[in-house]
Amino acid sequence: MKRDSELALFDLERRIVQWDENRQDEESTQALRESVDAARRRSTDR
């Protein structure tokens, strides 16, 4: 189960990077990265 959430986060990060390359919108990208980091912290706290 933990592995699945790690893969999902990795996939989400990859999509953020691709999206950022298409749209150079730094503020939105930073907010997305922070939410991914927060999700990763929550998943590793368990």
pLDDT in tens, 1-43: 678 888 988 999 999 888 777 676 677 778 888 998 999 899 8
- The reported pLDDT for the residue numbered 27 is 74
- The reported pLDDT for the residue numbered 24 is 64
What is the pTM assigned to this prediction?
0.42
Question: Cα(16)–Cα(35) distance, rounded to whole angstroms?
Answer: 11
Q: What number of CA atoms fall less than 13 Å from residue 24's CA on the CB side?
A: 0
- The reported pLDDT for the residue numbered 34 is 92
Closest to 2 measured CA to CA, from 32, 39, 38: 39
Torsion of CA 10, 11, 13, 16, to 10 degrees: 180
- The reported pLDDT for the residue numbered 19 is 79
* Domain edges within the chain: 1-10+26-46
